[in-house]
Structure 1
Amino acid sequence: MTDTLILAAILIPCLVIAIVFHEVAHGWTALALGDTTARDMGRLTLNPIKHVDPVGTLLVPGALALFGGPVFGWAKPVPVNANRLNNPRYGMMAVAAAGPGTNILLAFVGAVLVGIASGLATNWGTQLPEFAMTAFGAFILINAFLAFFNLLPIPPFDGSHILGGLLPRRWARHWQQLQAFGMLLLVVIIAASWAFPDARWIENTVWPPVEWMSGLFFSVADSIARFLA
């Protein structure tokens, strides 16, 4: 029980920071490109309460965890009006890419910070507490996972908006129509992953690039620590 509480104390803040910055990045990018919707609705804030979706953030992951299924969840999407963007087609691509891009940046910042902290600790004849090392590692992994998970070209993920902007216009219109079924597709993915846990579709698709990027950032942290030690 104690180990579970400690793990929750590490993972929950990391997850909240990753999700909140991800969503706010969408809103700030939209604002920079001409859409003030997120700002007008008070969503350009780092207050996590503003980004909680009762179903996606609480009910669904809680129920899946309770019944032993793979845990999925989502935050309340930041509202974006594509028609108000300076260039709706490519503007939506930029808005979509801002979320995963921010998570990658956060993972890099986490690697730099743990490298500095570890190097200075060694220089002072001590070591970072295990709790701190676990927290930094979890922060890097969570942000890397969120980045690549959201880049999946499946509605309503960010990758689907990026793909829509890359498709020829006649195909993009049909692809855009699929966005209306995004939540249904998400439910199907959750149900399929739960019903066939051995298939490990998400893990086999997302985890290889997550491992590669996390390994790269851990190497950065190690290099910084060695330099400062």
Structure 2
Amino acid sequence: MAISVVLVALSASIHEFAHGWMALRCGDPTAKEAGRLTLNPLAHLDPFGSFVLPLLMAISGMPVFAAAKPVPFNPRRLRNPARDEALVALAGPVSNILQALAGTLLLYIEITFLQPFALEGTMGYEVFYAIVIVTNTYLYVNLGLAFFNLIPIPPLDGSKLFSPFLKGKGRRIYNLLQAYSLPILMVALYVVPTVLHLDPLGWYFRLTVENAYSLLTFWW
């Protein structure tokens, strides 16, 4: 459980770095000026959102997610605000998908090359098993972060893929939803499944995360 929390926090930090990196590529150096264009997790981690919240969720058996401090960026400094704001939003989930692919490759290497040593006794099987569990968790955590952040509900990245193109009433509704984004997420994650016995997030994760995980580990 503690390993899951640490992996979620580190993966979320890389996610935030990717937002800042893409913003800089698109002409906005705000994250760099704020000292947030770094892979150092300490620059991105939020004590509550990155550690306390996922730990409490894991203990209570709830779906685990974490939040790093959002990387600051200024849409007015982007070269093409509508297009670039969507690219900045997409960079975070893409970074998690790339981490999941890296985890898959590492898992393949471990099972292909380390497992024979574990079976022969050259390497303790408990050590091999622990390494595989950590890598597998890293893979799964990043798939979860990628698809969770692609949900089109403010303030998640999925909503920012289309928000730059909203006008008039659509923009006002989006801003209203963004103001109440945390309560909306809490209702969707916990109240709806408990009170209405509906689990839209669980259905969504089974459709996306579970299928993506099965696709990446079909060889295992």
In structure 1, the residue matched to 2:23 is 30
User: Matched residues in 2 for 1:197 and 1:143: separation?
Assistant: 29
What SS does the aligned partner of 2:172 have? helix
Unaligned runs of 5+ in 2: none
Q: Is the 8 A contact 1:103 1:144 kept in 2?
A: yes
Between 151-160 and 199-208, the greater mean CA deviation after superposition = 199-208
How much has 1:206 moved relative to structure 2? 2.4
User: Matched residues in 1 for 2:58 and 2:193: separation?
Assistant: 11
In structure 2, the residue matched to 1:139 is 138
Between Structure 1 and Structure 2, how many residues are aligned?
213
**Aligned partner (choices 87, 90, 108) of residue 101 of structure 2:** 108
1:1-229 pair list within 5 angstroms? 7-8=1-2, 10-64=3-57, 69-121=62-114, 126=120, 129-165=128-164, 167=165, 169-170=167-168, 173-177=171-175, 178-192=177-191, 195-196=194-195, 198-219=197-218, 222=220
What SS does the aligned partner of 2:217 have? helix
Backbone CA RMSD of aligned residues: 2.7
Q: Over residues 164-198 of structure 1, what are the superposed CA-to-partner deviations in whole Å (9 max), with x where a residue is unaligned?
A: 24x55446533542333333433443552574494
Q: Which amino acid aligns with 2:32?
A: R
For normalisation by structure 1, the TM-score amounts to 0.80
In structure 2, the residue matched to 1:4 is none
How much has 1:100 moved relative to structure 2? 0.5
Q: Over residues 57-109 of structure 1, what are the superposed CA-to-partner deviations in whole Å (9 max), with x where a residue is unaligned?
A: 34444454566655443111111111111111111110010000010011001
For normalisation by structure 2, the TM-score amounts to 0.83
Q: Over residues 130-163 of structure 1, what are the superposed CA-to-partner deviations in whole Å (9 max), with x where a residue is unaligned?
A: 1111111111110001000000000000000013
Q: Which amino acid aligns with 1:86?
A: R
